[in-house]
Chain A
Amino acid sequence: NAGVTQTPKFQVLKTGQSMTLQCAQDMNHEYMSWYRQDPGMGLRLIHYSVGAGITDQGEVPNGYNVSRSTTEDFPLRLLSAAPSQTSVYFCASSQPPAYTGDQETQYFGPGTRLLVL
């Protein structure tokens, strides 16, 4: 199993450009999430999905879109990049029930480091 994979690992964008961050998992997990990590702020949830065809907003969804057409893939789209979106982005997956405290684990990808100029 490759686990959770993310591409690209690093990207530089100009303000106003759009791009898609790719995320894939081969563990047949139902739950997938996108986080951004900024210094001193921990992980903040952008969007999440509880299954194919179902997505919902997290804490900081503005400026980002997601879709979940398959169980394996959960791409994150930046519609018009802004310098405030400079961050490290992590995709995570887990099996339900993800949040019942019964040892269910979120598996994280290696991250995409995004710089918006």
Chain B
Amino acid sequence: TQLLEQSPQFLSIQEGENLTVYCNSSSVFSSLQWYRQEPGEGPVLLVTVVTGGEVKKLKRLTFQFGDARKDSSLHITAAQPGDTGLYLCAGVLNYQLIWGAGTKLIIKP
């Protein structure tokens, strides 16, 4: 059983559309990280959220940490083909990183 559930597993949308990726758990995390991974490369950190209810923005990407620190979301506004990739969330629990299975995102031009 995955401790950190990501949804959807796969998403293919047209350029310009908005989307949201979710990361859910029954565990309380001390912080949560979002990574993006492109084919043939390792994951690259996008953001870390620490405080319950925290919202961070990275250009067209908005990250939110749930009030109870059990869940997080990534919202992309006006998606572009360059946003294509595998998005991974990872929660910090007892000094260990717990990884979600990832959301594969394809943005079609």
Chain A interface (Cβ < 8 Å from any Cβ of B):
4, 40-45, 90, 92, 99-106, 108-111
Contact = CB atoms under 8 A, between A and B. Distances in A.
A45 B97 contact: yes
Interface of B: 2, 4, 6, 9, 30-32, 40-45, 48, 50, 88, 90, 92, 95-97, 99-102
A99 B42 contact: no
Contacts, number: 57
A99 B43 contact: no
B41 A110 contact: yes
Contacts of B48: 101-105
15 contacts: A41-B101, A42-B100, A42-B101, A42-B102, A43-B99, A44-B99, A99-B30, A99-B92, A103-B48, A105-B45, A106-B43, A106-B45, A108-B42, A108-B43, A111-B42
Contacts of B41: 108, 110-111
Contacts of B2: 42
Contacts of A109: 42
Contact of B92 (A101, A105, A110): A101
Contacts of A41: 101
Contacts of B9: 40
Contact of A42 (B44, B45, B88): B88
A88 B12 CA distance: 24
A92 B90 CA distance: 14
Given A42-B2, A108-B42, A109-B42, A99 B88 contact: no
A27 to B, nearest CB: 14
A105 B4 CA distance: 19
Given A42-B2, A92-B42, A108-B42, A102 B50 contact: yes
Contacts of B95: 99
Give the residue among A43, A100, A105, A108 with the most B Cβ atoms within 10 A.
A43
A73 B58 CA distance: 33
